[in-house]
Amino acid sequence: MKKRKTYEVSVINKTSSKLLSDRTKFYTSDTALELVFKLKEVEYDFDSAELILLNDEDRSLTTRPVKKTAEGFTYELEDDIVEHYGTWSGQLKFTEGDEVYVSSAVGFRIHNDLYNDRPPQLTEVNTWENLRKIADGLISDIRSELESVTEQLSEIEVAETTRQQAETQRASSESSRVSAEDQRKTDHANRSAELAGKADKVVLKNFIENGNFESESPTPSSGTISDGTLEHTGTTQTSRFAFTGTPMTEGNVYYLQFKVKADVLPAYGQVSFTGYGNSFNYRNVLQAGEWVTVSGVEKITRTTSNARPFIYLQGTAQYDDFILLNLTETFGAGNEPTKEEMDELLKVTGYIDGKYTLNNKEMLGHLMKRIGEKANKKQEDWITLPLYNGAQHGQSPLKVMKDEMGVVHFKGSLTNLTTGSKVFTLPVGYRPDIGATEGYIRVPLTLSTGREAIAIQINYIGDGYTYNSSNTMVSFFDGVSYLAKRG
């Protein structure tokens, strides 16, 4: 038996709508749910209509056709709508000739009595289709460029053939023919060198001298160079190593990559640019006794005469293979690659000692790999967060997920919270897009009762602390999201 809700709507008064009949609730386990709309204005005689639906919680937006019946305009909810629980808003859209009429809005709710996981947004399919179209367009552009190069080579071959024929015709003797052939070989060699110079036009320059510590110079102000690594032992943040006197440029974007190994955790570590206010923190990615590759992209925001990068470390650690690249100088302002793109590119080049010239084959292979990764990218899985200080998971565990746009989403619930205590730490890549001086972001939560308003404060290193919470009521995280920090 169908469950039905009946509404009266108006296309003249956009705020006039009312529920005429509602003796039931909708659930995600239902198989036959129906909405009936009666138009208040009898002077309109529309033959068809569309229903615009918006889920107020997960922002799914879709348009569905509506049947005209003797009772009014009727829409039977499809399965993909029923499984998206939460509050929905809907408006009828009528078209008559060139005129479009939109009715007043109505609302209804689908209850999730089985605690199902929320399905993907209805708009995500369109997002993937657009991503595939973009990738197809880039591949098409590359093919067009290759075809253009082929045509140019064909024209060069025709011109070369014509030139050879003219040289042969003008040759009056064997000596002149040999001379012309020698000249042609010389011209060909010069042309090949010219084309090779144009092809190898992307030069990566490592501004850090002796970044792989193969020599003892320059030497650190503290710490030692041993077996090709910089070693430091201590408990204070005094160890530093000046690599180069090359000044850094205000407004330019720099990429830094290096390897670090800490024998004992916890350990503190960062690489900072003295006088610039920019630094790379890597404490949270260290793994005891293992080499870890650290990288980041930073834009220099102020200048100073003392432009050398320094290493600061608390604890025992080793360093190797430092690479510092000026992305703005190499690729041009506004065209700087992302951290992820540079990480992939350096997998091709390996450690750079001085300068490395990229040829077109390497660049094309890197570009095609990135296009394939973006076109075939799959959505990340949900991660269950470990909890601290007595906090407990509710009926559904607290989980996080990051979508393809870099937005972090939460779902689930917590209980047994205490004000000001640390509840969880987010993994690297899931932390908010804020700096150390910006403090934290405050995320309001929903309680199972209305006793008090609480929140979670998340700082730049991903630690989540409770705010205004001193009870054991269940706090829900569904719908919480923010943009993750890149790099």
In order along its 487 residues, the chain shows pLDDT tens digits of 789 999 999 998 888 788 887 878 999 989 899 999 999 988 888 989 999 999 998 888 999 999 999 889 999 999 999 999 999 999 999 998 889 999 999 999 999 987 778 888 876 545 555 556 666 777 787 888 888 888 888 888 888 888 888 777 777 666 666 676 777 777 766 655 554 444 446 788 887 877 788 876 655 555 678 777 878 776 555 545 555 556 677 788 888 888 888 877 656 566 665 444 556 666 556 777 888 888 888 887 766 555 455 565 556 778 888 888 888 888 888 888 888 888 888 887 888 888 887 765 556 555 556 555 555 556 678 999 999 998 889 888 999 999 877 889 999 888 888 888 899 999 998 999 887 777 788 877 777 665 556 788 999 899 999 887 666 667 878 878 888 887 6
Half-sphere exposure of 474 (CA within 13 A, CB side): 11
Of residues 384, 448, 434, the one with CA closest to residue 410 = 384
For the record, the structure tokens of 137 come out as 């367009």
pLDDT at residue 397, rounded to an integer:
92
Strands, E assignment, 327-390: 355-358, 383-384
63: amino acid identity, one letter: T
pLDDT at residue 173, rounded to an integer:
64
Sequential DSSP letters for 154-186: HHHHHHHHHHHHHHHHH--SHHHHHHHHHHHHH
Q: Which residues pair with 298 in a beta bridge?
A: 254
Domains belonging to the chain, first-starting first, are 3-120 (2.60.40.3350), 125-200 (no CATH), 205-358 (2.60.120.260), 383-483 (2.60.40.1830)
Number of C-beta neighbours around residue 370 at 10 A: 18
Q: Are 304 and 274 in contact (CB under 8 A)?
A: yes
Strands, E assignment, 348-388: 355-358, 383-384
Distance CA 7, CA 18 (A): 6
Helix H or strand E segment including 345: helix 339-349
pLDDT at residue 448, rounded to an integer:
63
pTM: 0.39
Tell me the Ramachandran region of residue 193: left when phi exceeds 0, alpha when psi lies from -120 to 50, beta otherwise: alpha
CA 207, 212, 218, 223 dihedral sign is positive
Tell me the Ramachandran region of residue 252: left when phi exceeds 0, alpha when psi lies from -120 to 50, beta otherwise: beta
